[in-house]
Amino acid sequence: MDSTIKILLIEGNIRDACLVDDALAGVRGVQYDLDRCERLAQGVDSLESDRYDVVLVDLALPDSNGLATLASIRGAAGPVPIIVLSAFRDRSLARRVVQEGAQDYLVIGQIDSDSLGRAIHYAIERKAVEGRLVTALHEAEEADRAKSEFLSNVSHEIRTPLTSMCNVLSNFAAGIGGRLKGKHEQYVTMLDDDCNRLRALVEKLLNLSRLQAGKVPVEFGSTDVAAVAADAVRGVRREADAKGVALEVEALGHLPEIDADGSLLLQVFTNLIYNAIKFTPAGGSITVRLQDRGGEIYAAVVDTGIGIAPENLKKVFEKFAQVNRKKGGKGAQGTGIGLAICKEIVDLHDGEIWVESVTAKGSTFQFTLPKKERAVRSEKQGPASVEKELVEV
């Protein structure tokens, strides 16, 4: 640091102020410009009207004391680093002061030119680094939020034209404008399929952005995972039959009920099984395997499909990361949103989700659900959950 460092010293005790002044005078190679005031109110005023490189503050002032002093100074100092001066050597206070946003804690009796000069230098550097990190974090959060918002806006905007398209098709089907024949009927059926796909896509996108924004109310409750898996299988049975893929559930032993959100888990099973159907050729098979592993329930969706290349295994749970599973195969489309939704939901349950796969042999998507009692439950659970929360804390 070669230019002058501007310091604000807030110190009620004149002798301590002189000690600091003397110590600063002895620091070689640095110019200090020291302003001093005695009271907190003056200190706050000075910070608001002038620009300083660092603030040295004694927490015991005529008009304020202790951590309250630090809080006021922090509020006024903004990006200016703060060094707390104290008459006492108090380790727990020192730690507390740093946790509350000061850069350092110095005991006045132990100050010398070397230590004070170094403390000031480091405080300024640390604060600058912290500032850059905070800015970067804010920018990242802001970008992520803007992206989610954009996604949600676009999805809403897509709904409007989609509505009139769906209405038109529905009106055709109802016979408005006369009966459709031959190619026209075929075309309308094609349009209808694509409208439904678009509609499902918009729903998924909104669903994912709501999950990520924490806007989906999660309702934990006693849940029979095997029954949920069976429900999911029932829901996609027709697709499996149509494609000629065998589909069965295999539960190893009896599964206890666990604390989970059944409707969210249904989405996980449905997405995974639906994916498996998409990527498994006719004649293949899909097995949903469930197992009680003591502390957790293990679930797997095993297919004999085309598999995933090793380099893509990690990517599949990322949003929009539909890796090229088809590789010249027939157009098995997907957006890669379904798996991102699965991951969000399993994360909400504090579980893990991963995939193992062998190209051309098949994939196994698997996840675990810990069997834990949840401290935070939906509001309707009543006072019992409050007690539990207290116990766990």
Q: Which of 36, 42, 30 is nearest to 18 (CA)?
A: 36
Q: How far is the CB of 277 from other proteins (least distance, A)?
A: 24
Contact 321, 334 (CB under 8 A): no
* 263 in contact with other proteins (CB under 8 A): no
Beta bridge partners of 356: 364
**What's the CA gap between 285 and 269, in Å, rounded?**
16
* 186 in contact with other proteins (CB under 8 A): no
Residue 241 half-sphere exposure, CB side, CA atoms within 13 Å? 6
Window of 32-40, 116-124, 168-176, 275-283 that interacts with other proteins by CB under 8 A: 168-176
Q: Which is nearer to other proteins, 112 or 203 (CB)?
A: 203
With CB under 8 A, what is the number of residues at the site for other proteins? Answer: 22
Distances (CA, A) of 148 to 143, 145, 205, 366, 392: 9, 5, 10, 28, 34
* 171 in contact with other proteins (CB under 8 A): yes
Contact 56, 8 (CB under 8 A): yes
Q: Which is nearer to other proteins, 156 or 184 (CB)?
A: 156
Window of 49-57, 126-134, 166-174, 260-268 that interacts with other proteins by CB under 8 A: 166-174
Which SS3 state, helix, strand or coil, does residue 376 take? coil
Q: How far is the CB of 100 from other proteins (least distance, A)?
A: 36
* 160 in contact with other proteins (CB under 8 A): yes
Window of 63-71, 99-107, 132-140, 152-160 that interacts with other proteins by CB under 8 A: 152-160
Q: Which is nearer to other proteins, 92 or 164 (CB)?
A: 164
Task: Give the contacts of 18 (CB within 8 A, at least 6 positions apart).
Answer: none
Contact 273, 246 (CB under 8 A): no
Per-residue binding string, other proteins, 214-253, x by CB under 8 A, is: -x-x------------------------------------
* 174 in contact with other proteins (CB under 8 A): yes
* 163 in contact with other proteins (CB under 8 A): yes
Q: Which is nearer to other proteins, 210 or 315 (CB)?
A: 210
**What's the CA gap between 250 and 291, in Å, rounded?**
9
Q: Which is nearer to other proteins, 171 or 222 (CB)?
A: 171
Per-residue binding string, other proteins, 104-143, x by CB under 8 A, is: ----------------------------------------
Which run of H or of E encompasses 83?
A: strand 82-86
Read out DSSP for 119-144?
Answer: HHHHHHHHHHHHHHHHHHHHHHHHHH
Q: Give helix 337-348 / helix 262-278 axis angle, nearest 10°.
A: 150
Considering only residues 26 to 85 of the shown chain, the ones binding other proteins according to CB under 8 A are none
- Residues at the contact surface with other proteins, assessed by CB under 8 A: 156-157, 159-168, 170-171, 174-176, 195, 199, 206, 215, 217
